Amino acid sequence: MRLGVLDVGSNTVHLLVVDAHPGARPLPAHSHKVELRLAQLLDADGAIGSEGIDRLIAVLKDALQAAEDKGVEDLLPFATSAVREAGNADDVLARVREATGVRLQVLSGAEEARLTFLAARRWFGWSAGKLLVLDIGGGSLEVAYGIDEEPDAAVSLPLGAGRLTAGWLPGDPPDPEHVRALRRHVRTEIARTVGEFTRFGAPDHVVATSKTFRQLARIAGAARSADGLYVQRELKRESLEAWVPRLAAMTTEERGELPGVSDGRATQLLAGALVAEAAMDLFGVERLEICPWALREGVILRRLDHMGSE
């Protein structure tokens, strides 16, 4: 059947259409993506304003039309941290449902981490052993660890690249004092959770998902996305540590000229790099591998599992 996943994230609204059936690998058929930056549309009270909701509804209507055009049989709509943490989340969901008919499922941070872990486990297989999975989104950082398809530990921290950029890094380029303050904040937040994972022992394989990690790996020398899904891509902590001060000294325009960095993501690349560097350092990771599958694929795989058991 043809499935559609409609992901209302902190940075983008992304419709991913796949051809899939239980027991088979989902095959991408179409991708429709709009950068909305919901995480940056919150007002002083932490609510998504009326204009932001109107923009979200308009983008969702376009995505629904794209899903219809592509013959999507089953649509799985969900939202992550930007909607989850909005002060008026119930109002946002109600207005979206009234205007579009879409009932957005709001995933908890732990659910995000678990579904992303499932996608990584299926991609790398059982031979990868104990997995540590890192995922930097626009609003949050997810960390999960385990040897099965359900992680033994999973946490979500409010350390998304978009959120941190908006709240901590004014200026272009940002003031060095602001960068140092954000670095301290990120490391303090991550350090509080490290013990939840290290008690299970060292992972056999460390992987990362998300656009932020893919772009950091690319500027550090990894293969282009055009080279295909099955090319191994990795990010070394040594390389990342060398790039962080360079990114901090660059303007947004200069970051946007780096290989693999889109104009829309250039603003928040430094914050993402600080989170990635802190996570790799505090978890003792020297290198990690980029996983092409992430949350959206996890949602699809969970749906296929349920179909297979019906």
Query: Given the structure tokens 């486990």, which residue do they identify?
Result: 121
**pLDDT grade for 22, boundaries at 50, 70 and 90:** confident
> Are 71 and 62 spatial neighbours (Cβ–Cβ below 8 Å)?
no
Is residue 40 over pLDDT 90?
Answer: no
| Inter-CA distances, 140 with 19, 57, 83, 108, 164, Å | 29, 23, 12, 11, 9
Dihedral sign, Cα of residue 286, residue 258, residue 13, residue 229: negative
pLDDT of the residue at 33: 94
Is residue 295 over pLDDT 70?
Answer: yes
Element (H, E) at 111: helix 109-124
Select the more confidently predicted residue: 44 or 296.
296
* pTM of the predicted structure, to 2 decimals: 0.94
Query: Given the structure tokens 């949602």, which residue do they identify?
Result: 299
The identity of residue 188, as a single letter, is T
Q: What is the spatial distance between Cα 178 and Cα 248, in angstroms, rounded to a whole number? A: 10
* Mean pLDDT across 81-100: 95
178-217 residue pLDDT tens: 999 999 999 999 999 999 999 999 999 999 999 999 999 9
* Mean pLDDT across 24-49: 87
Is residue 41 over pLDDT 80?
Answer: no
- Percentage of the chain lying above the pLDDT 90 cut: 85
**pLDDT grade for 310, boundaries at 50, 70 and 90:** low
Is residue 119 over pLDDT 90?
Answer: yes
**pLDDT grade for 229, boundaries at 50, 70 and 90:** confident
Mean pLDDT of the chain: 94
**pLDDT grade for 266, boundaries at 50, 70 and 90:** very high
- Percentage of the chain lying above the pLDDT 70 cut: 99
Helix (H/G/I), strand (E/B), else coil: 102: coil
Q: What is the spatial distance between Cα 48 and Cα 226, in angstroms, rounded to a whole number? A: 36
Phi/psi of residue 150, each to 5°? -100, 125
pLDDT of the residue at 226: 87
pLDDT of the residue at 239: 98
Select the more confidently predicted residue: 24 or 172.
172
pLDDT of the residue at 212: 96
Neighbours of 306 (CB within 10 A): 10
pLDDT of the residue at 38: 83
Q: What is the spatial distance between Cα 243 and Cα 257, in angstroms, rounded to a whole number? A: 14
Q: Any idea what DSSP says for residue 177?
A: H
128-186 residue pLDDT tens: 999 999 999 999 999 999 999 999 999 999 999 999 998 999 999 999 999 999 999 99
Is residue 11 over pLDDT 80?
Answer: yes
**pLDDT grade for 23, boundaries at 50, 70 and 90:** confident
**pLDDT grade for 309, boundaries at 50, 70 and 90:** low
pLDDT of the residue at 308: 64
Helix (H/G/I), strand (E/B), else coil: 34: strand
